[in-house]
Amino acid sequence: MNEQHIGSSLDEFLEQEGLLEEATAIAAKRVVAYQIRQGMRDCGIGPSELARRMGAGRSTVDRLLDMDNPSVTLLTLGRAAAAVGKRLDVTLSDAPSSARQLDPSGGSV
């Protein structure tokens, strides 16, 4: 049977709907939150101990572990990683050629 790809990719659809950036941020946050939870489990610690090790409040840890909340700073992520014996690595990769380019001020080019 000859199957053809019909329609666009999920990334193209999300981009057209103006949701790609948010969806990508939430997906990345979910991965990091999962990894922090795994690190907590491996260290045998709970949220209160993670907060103590980070020098942060419990509400910060709750935000960090909330997989649907992408609003966490790199500093907080780095402290959480260190608190469970890990290191945060941030990389940039090439965007698909169809992705819109932004100028440094945040506007479209």
CATH of the domain at 38: 1.10.260
In a domain, 97, yes or no: no
With respect to residue 42, please indicate whether it lies within any of the assigned structural domains: yes
Show pLDDT as tens, one digit a residue, over the chain (109 residues).
Answer: 455 556 568 878 877 878 788 888 888 889 999 999 999 999 999 999 999 999 999 999 999 999 888 889 999 999 999 999 999 998 888 876 655 555 555 555 4
Instruction: With respect to residue 91, please indicate whether it lies within any of the assigned structural domains.
Output: no
By residue range, what is the domain housing residue 18?
12-83
105, part of any domain: no
Q: How many domains does the chain have?
A: 1
Angle at 35 between CA 79 and CA 40, to 5 degrees: 70
pLDDT score for 8: 67
Q: How far is CA 80 from CA 31, 39, 63, 89, 94, in A?
A: 14, 9, 12, 12, 27
Residue 47 lies in a domain: yes
Cα 88 from Cα 68, distance rounded (Å): 19
**What span, in angstroms and rounded, lies between the C-alpha atoms of 85 and 92?**
23
